[in-house]
């Protein structure tokens, strides 16, 4: 087996950040400018395609040959680019170094990963790249000084072009060095196979209803323009959408000091009894303008390919702490829920741009458009979408992992975990916790406890989960925490066992097993790096780079590791604890359940077009009635998993012509 490391520099008039790689590549003016490669670790060669050089015949053959393993950083891009010219390229012949880095606990960027690994300067990505990419890889604005051209070619600045070629060469050097550094911590074959399946799913894409999207954009723009005009007429402000201008106006009109105009502040002000009609209407407009965003529709419009499909919605291993997928482009993982009735009618009114009819039927047009965004994803003519969702997957996994038998019995029978939890917490027969009985009020406490307390959360977690909005008082929260923990002693013990095991492994080395999880301290003496790993029941590992022990605010051992801070986006030391590590493991196991299900669905010729958390969406030509098709998919998802004996899985869903949330 030969190893071919590749980096391409390309041109397209389509903005890749907004439109995604597939639309960028499908542009008629897309071209590969530079092809840099190294064969079996030899010095990097570069082929200047923009200046007329051609790929040698052996390299053309190697691109599709199973005797050559192709490596690239963010390999789906190189795979997509070359697929445009060479046709289908088998994904199993490709390896992605970016994914390998994410698997091992690093971040996604080539430069950032190189720095985190401590690469020497001569192995690092050149920092001149961004400016050179802007110059050669995207259109330029026509000016008098550049002769009115809309694109910079090599002959326009030969010096920059030579520097660009060196930048391309260096990316291959960096990619190979990162792969060398990570080689002591290989990706398991079955996880590599999941990456290959993801490559196919992202390339497959999902159909979108562009008539509906265009109608939504038109209505959203019209509503926003009308609201802005009304606000201007009422307030006489130059820009009534300006926080500073509107705050000053409201302070003068209401004789009240205001520090912000956040959603909760506007809601509070709207609830006052002494507002003048003018102030009340301005606040209503402000609230409505906050709902008129059409960003999701704009994102679909920007990303849709010429064949009416959006591709690249998910990044494999994008959430590298657990290995879950991350949303890209339209961010399907945080779409608003759909509560509207008569969805086909609502969609038709949007497509026909009937603003008044939509408002008359559904009230707020902005809210209706927000809820309808899911329905932009459709089945093509003659097809249907089958949606199936694992039910309460995290609650099931943590019950199984901890061996909390009463919970497992709930999931093996009626599945009413909120009622069952309240029954355990308050000693009330579950039969009494039903609508119409006073005991039914306990269900709310069981629900918020289940949602907030599984990972060592306390009163603060209950508040963050909306306990106070549910009518609970702050004074009763500590009792709920205590009752839930007493009812779930095995889960509580699992947190502390994990914490103790992590401290032991980090300070003493070796291996510790907990309930099917295996914690180890793994060293790469050649590179001088170490990691704490947690081997999951599936065989996949979670990596914690350069683990350490400090002291927390209570004087107890504090576990930490090097990782990407989600707020600052900086590589830094991050603290964790037993409950958080259990959360990582539970979400990772849930992810593995989904990945296994996707592999089984694909093998059954049920093509997945995208998935959201624990939910899959399949696009097929109907072969039976809806009930039969749905049961076929759900039965595949419910199949026992060999590495998780006794884990009670369940799934349910729907069949329809467009995406929705039941």
Query: How do residues 558-598 score in pLDDT, each as one tens digit?
Result: 999 999 887 887 889 999 999 999 999 999 999 999 999 99
Residues 30 and 96 in one domain: yes
Residues 219 and 159 in one domain: no
Looking at residue 78, its pLDDT comes to 98
**What is the CA angle 123-133-172, rounded to 5?**
30
Residues 19 and 165 in one domain: yes
Residues 152 and 26 in one domain: yes
Q: Which residues contact 566 (CB under 8 A, 6 or more apart)?
A: none
Mean pLDDT in residue range 279-294:
84
Looking at residue 134, its pLDDT comes to 93
Tokens found for residue 239? 């820009």
Backbone angles phi, psi at 517, to 5 degrees: -100, 140
Residues 67 and 12 in one domain: yes
Task: Give the number of domains in the chain.
Answer: 4
Residue 558 falls inside a structural domain: no
Q: Mean pLDDT lowest for which of 261-275, 310-324, 632-646?
A: 261-275
* Alpha carbons 276 and 259: distance in angstroms, whole number: 20
* Alpha carbons 161 and 593: distance in angstroms, whole number: 48
Tell me the H-state helices in 459-518.
Answer: 459-464, 477-487, 489-508
Residue 402 in contact with residue 583, Cβ under 8 Å? Answer: no
Which residue, chain included where needed, has tokens 């909760």? 264
Residues 166 and 214 in one domain: no
Average pLDDT in the chain: 93
Q: How confident is the model at residue 351 (pLDDT cuts 50, 70, 90)?
A: very high
Residue 359 falls inside a structural domain: yes
Q: Mean pLDDT lowest for which of 42-46, 320-324, 466-470, 564-568?
A: 564-568
- Res 415 pLDDT > 90: yes
Strand partners, 560: 548, 575
Classify burial at 265, counting beta carbons within 10 Å of its beta carbon; exposed 0-12, middle 13-18, buried 19 or more.
Answer: middle
Residues 106 and 148 in one domain: yes
Looking at residue 120, its pLDDT comes to 74
Looking at residue 625, its pLDDT comes to 96
Residue 196 falls inside a structural domain: no
**Predicted TM-score of the model (pTM):** 0.92
Residues 440 and 473 in one domain: yes
CATH, residue 69: 3.30.420.10
Domain boundary among 445, 466, 487: 487
Handedness of CA 207, 213, 214, 215 (dihedral sign): positive
Mean pLDDT in residue range 418-427:
93
Residues 283 and 253 in one domain: yes
Mean pLDDT in residue range 450-462:
93
- Res 471 pLDDT > 90: no
Residue 464 falls inside a structural domain: yes
Domain boundary among 487, 516, 550: 487
Please give the residue range of the domain that contains residue 243. 205-378
Domain boundary among 359, 378, 397: 378
For residue 452, which of 407, 419, 485 has the smallest C-alpha distance? 485
Residue 646 falls inside a structural domain: yes
Residues 86 and 215 in one domain: no
Looking at residue 124, its pLDDT comes to 66
Residues 322 and 450 in one domain: no
Tell me the H-state helices in 183-312.
Answer: 189-204, 210-235, 243-254, 263-270, 277-289, 295-303
Residues 20 and 162 in one domain: yes
Give SS3 for 236.
coil
Residue 559 falls inside a structural domain: no
Residue 498 falls inside a structural domain: no
Mean pLDDT in residue range 151-176:
95
Looking at residue 292, its pLDDT comes to 67
């Amino acid at each position: 087996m030969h190893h071919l490391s590749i980096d391409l520099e390309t041109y397209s008039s389509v903005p890749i950040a907004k439109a995604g790689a597939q639309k960028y590549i499908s542009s008629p003016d897309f071209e590969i400018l530079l092809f840099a490669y190294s064969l079996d670790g030899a010095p990097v060669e570069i082929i200047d395609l923009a200046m007329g050089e051609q790929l040698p015949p052996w390299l053309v053959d190697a691109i599709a040959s199973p005797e050559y393993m192709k490596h690239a950083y963010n390999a789906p891009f190189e795979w997509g680019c070359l697929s445009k010219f060479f046709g289908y390229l088998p994904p199993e012949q490709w390896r992605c170094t970016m994914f390998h880095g994410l698997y091992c606990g690093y971040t996604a960027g080539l430069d950032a990963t190189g720095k985190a690994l401590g690469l020497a300067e001569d192995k690092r990505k050149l920092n001149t790249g961004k400016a050179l990419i802007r110059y050669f890889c995207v259109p330029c604005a026509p000016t008098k000084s550049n002769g009115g051209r809309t694109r910079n070619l090599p002959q326009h600045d030969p010096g920059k072009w030579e520097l660009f070629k060196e930048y391309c060469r260096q990316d291959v050097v960096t990619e190979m060095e990162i792969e060398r550094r990570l080689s002591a911590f290989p990706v398991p074959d079955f996880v590599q196979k999941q990456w290959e399946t993801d490559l196919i799913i992202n390339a497959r894409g999902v159909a979108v209803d562009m008539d509906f999207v265009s109608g939504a954009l038109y209505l959203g723009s019209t509503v926003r323009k009308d609201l802005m005009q009304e606000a201007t007429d009422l307030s006489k402000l130059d820009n009534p959408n300006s926080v500073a201008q509107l705050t000053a106006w409201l302070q003068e009109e209401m004789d009240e000091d205001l520090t912000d105009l956040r959603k909760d502040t506007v809601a509070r002000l709207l609830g006052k009894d002494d507002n003048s009609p003018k102030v009340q209407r301005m606040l209503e407009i402000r609230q409505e303008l906050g709902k008129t965003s059409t960003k999701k529709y704009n994102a679909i419009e920007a990303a849709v390919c010429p064949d009416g499909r959006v591709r690249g919605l998910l990044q494999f291993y994008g959430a590298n702490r657990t290995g879950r997928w991350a949303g890209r482009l339209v961010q399907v993982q945080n779409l608003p829920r759909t509560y509207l009735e008569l969805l086909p009618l609502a969609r038709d009114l949007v497509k026909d741009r009937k603003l008044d009819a939509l408002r008359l039927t559904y009230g707020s047009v902005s809210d209706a458009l927000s809820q309808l965004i899911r329905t932009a994803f459709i089945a093509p003519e003659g097809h249907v979408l089958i949606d199936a969702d694992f039910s309460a997957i995290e609650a099931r996994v943590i019950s199984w992992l901890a061996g909390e038998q009463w919970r497992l019995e709930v999931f093996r029978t009626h599945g009413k975990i909120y009622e069952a939890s309240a029954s355990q917490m308050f000693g009330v027969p579950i039969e009494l916790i039903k609508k119409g009985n006073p005991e039914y009020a306990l269900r709310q406490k069981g629900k918020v406890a289940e949602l907030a307390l599984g990972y060592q959360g306390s009163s603060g977690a209950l508040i963050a989960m909306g306990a106070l909005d549910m009518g609970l008082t702050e004074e009763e929260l500590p009792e709920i925490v205590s009752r839930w923990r007493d009812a779930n002693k095995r889960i509580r013990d699992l947190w502390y066992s994990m914490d103790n095991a992590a401290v032991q492994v980090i300070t003493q080395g070796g291996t510790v097993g907990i309930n099917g999880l295996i914690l180890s301290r793994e060293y790469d003496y050649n590179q001088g790096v170490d990691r704490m790993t947690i081997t999951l029941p599936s065989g996949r590992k979670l990596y914690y780079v350069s683990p350490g022990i400090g002291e927390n605010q209570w004087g107890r051992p504090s576990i930490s590791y090097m990782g990407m801070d989600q707020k600052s986006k900086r590589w830094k030391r991050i603290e964790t604890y037993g409950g958080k590590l259990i959360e990582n493991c539970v979400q990772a196991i849930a992810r593995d359940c989904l990945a296994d299900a996707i592999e089984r669905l694909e093998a059954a010729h049920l093509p997945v077009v995208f998935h959201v958390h624990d939910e899959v969406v399949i696009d097929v030509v109907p072969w039976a009635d809806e009930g039969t098709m749905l049961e076929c998919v759900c039965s595949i998802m419910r199949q026992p998993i060999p590495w998780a004996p006794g884990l009670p899985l369940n799934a349910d869903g729907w069949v329809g012509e467009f995406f929705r949330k039941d």
